Structure 1
Amino acid sequence: MVDVLGHLGMALLWLAPVWYFVDHRETGLFVLLGGFWFGMLPDVDLVLSNWLSGVHHHGVVHTVLAVTAFAAVLGPLVGWAFARIGRATGWFDARARAHATAVGVIVVWVTGVSHLFADVLSAPDASTRIEPLWPLVKGPVVMLDVLWYQSFWATWGLFILGVAANLVAWYLTRGRRQPTESHAAA
């Protein structure tokens, strides 16, 4: 598994397409900066294992099922916070506010799954293999072991790649959409 910065970089990489779906640049930045932190969500098992017996790192919390449950519970709260803060600051455009719950669910789910993907790329060498498709598939899926455990280069490389992907997407979408008066008024 990559270090924290690598997981955040993978979340940034997976959130880069947000720039193609927003009307205002502030909205994209707001979603990106408010959402990429959830790339660490599956590692909540490190805390839960102190309180609950049977919970261990790379266990049930490192599954698509658990990430989906987290997204279903936390996503609407994130969407509500996005809409509320966005309304007060003007950083969340009217279209995004109208779909704030969906935006929150998608952000939490995408970044959580990005964490699982990073672990699939890096977990087998020095850590417990994850079973991301449990309960549908028992046992680990194909483990690629492309990234070394806590590799400086992999961790920083993923983070720089995530930032670069967002800068490129931001640049490619600049001027693509201009908010209409009805969007600006809403």
Structure 2
Amino acid sequence: MTQLTVLVLPGLGNSGPDHWQSWLEGRLPALARVDLGDWDAPEPDRWVERLDSAIHAAPGPVVLVAHSLACILVARWAAVSDMAEKVAAALLVAPPDVESPQTVPAEARRFAPVPSDPLPFPAVVVGSRSDPYCTAARACGFAALWGADFIDAGEAGHINSASGHGPWPMGETLLKDLLAQI
């Protein structure tokens, strides 16, 4: 089998040095962060183009590790791309409810509506019961729409550095489990 490429996809604002995605990159140096462009004022079409280019440039199958707004990006990308067969799996952590003006910033609402097409590759959605940007029930609903497994992370906030998730062993375990299934 060709070597897998693991692409890290941060959400709005990027994932800073104390974020679990950055921690994971330090532990598993083969991970590659995708520069999606303007992290603070994301343009959905531009982010889709950048993700498509990164997947196209990968020499073989790709695994996506997305956080927050990048989860919605993955679903948007999968609905329009002809490169979806290159994706072996996706770990989608803390998707925001971009359809809710009460919970997410205006910049994230640009990604509405939430795509409802099943993903054409295996995926795991991780949600939290105390995520200020999305209820656990709504995150579970995204998983159902996308044909993904759902993992309840408990009272984990937005699963970012603000909620104490720099080191996040659960995320590392989930990624390793996903890779082992490929």
Higher strand share: 2
TM-score grouping bracket, smaller chain normalisation? 0.3 to 0.5
| Bigger radius of gyration | 1
Question: TM-score, normalising length from structure 2?
Answer: 0.32
Greater RCO structure (CA 8 Å; 6+ sep): 1
Higher helix share: 1
